[in-house]
Amino acid sequence: MNTQNKINIGIIGGSGYTGKELLKILFNHPVIGTIDIYAQSSAGNSILDIFPELNGSMDDIQIKSINNLDYAADLFFTALPHGETLNYIPRLIAEGKTVIDIGGDYRLSSSELYKQWYGFEHTSYELLKSKVYGLADVLKDSDYNHDLIANPGCYPTATLIPLIPIVEQFSEEIISISTVAYSGVSGAGKSLKPDLLFAEMFGNVKAYNLNKHRHEPEIVQVLQSVGLRNKPYSFSTHLLPITTGIYSTTTIHLENELSQNEVETTIIEKYSSSPFVRIRKTPPELKWVLGTNFCDIHVSVGPKRIILTSAIDNLIKGAAGQAVQNMNRLYSFDQTTGLLPSRNSIPLLYEENVKTEQ
């Protein structure tokens, strides 16, 4: 596409938490033209009826029925519950459209994994093989020659960004890996769930979906692809009494000792051209990343052990922001377009951050 022209956008399922963040970003993106929103239960409403807090910051948009989906847009974002996206993405691809799927229906590469972890029969197996897994800070420019980008989940984004360079560089040294991660309740979406009520979560923390979280096979397939093979990996998740954020702590047990400097250098070199990855001198805090598309990382190396901590905003870096970052890379824009005031205004490594020996 001629990048001097505006890109017209279609959003299927734009009335949830992720849809709200996506709209906020796209409305202020300098190359976006028209935005059409398609939904089921909210069709006929205006977007400002659903999100009145956006009044004054964006134009109103009438939500169209998903049953009257047209193909006028250049690029479609899909943000639907598990299993529902299968009804629309194959049709969009057949019409020659490009799709960035923020849901989970195309993240895995095996239809068998969908039976095991999601409980449904995947009906477009061929697209599982032809899609690109859109971990935007890891992909090469050449990876964007695809019609379908599967936006990663929030937990995998926070976990994989610090972990991938370690597995790539030190796979022979790794004995096992264990991740303990925490999420705000917005990760469960807007549907009413009694166990997520304020009265239930305030002042409370709890583990959930142990040994059955759907993001586990997503993480494992990526780790295996970069060299982990079949070494043990465990993943456990917890809910925090907050609305937004993901915090991930990963412990890597090693055969031999590694130095702090060589591990830090591996991560810094991996993300030297990634404007949204910040390597911190101390473990990150959620408040540092909320409302942003950043992933903040800290690494601590001990005796035969590496501990990685990372923090992201689950609705932005873990969903809408990374989707727009993928869109920017797809169209060869600076990947910070619409996500930062200026790429040059925010360096990768702040002054207080880790410096490598020259």
> Looking at this protein, which amino acid is placed at residue 86?
L
CB-CB contact of 99 with 87 (8 Å):
no
Residue with the two structure tokens 């009044």 = 55
Q: Burial code of 285-315, b = ≥16 C-beta within 10 A, e = fewer?
A: ebeebbebbbbbbbbebeeeebebbbbbbbb
Active site residue 154: yes
Look up residue 232 and give its two tokens. 């043990």
Two structure tokens written together for 74: 């250049």
Residue 235, classed as helix, strand or coil, is: strand
Work out the end-to-end distance of the chain between its first and last CA atoms, rounded to an integer number of angstroms: 42
What's the CA gap between 203 and 180, in Å, rounded?
A: 20
Instruction: Retrieve residue 79's tokens.
Output: 């943000």
CB 100 within 8 Å of CB 326: yes
Q: Check if the beta carbon of residue 75 is closer than 8 Å to that of residue 26.
A: no
Whether 183 and 205 have beta carbons less than 8 Å apart is answered as no
Radius of gyration of the chain (CA): 20
- Which residue has 């979906």 as its token pair? 209
Q: Out of 26, 37, 66, 154, pick the active-site residue.
A: 154
Query: CB neighbours (10 Å) of residue 332?
Result: 11
Q: Annotated active-site positions, please?
A: 154
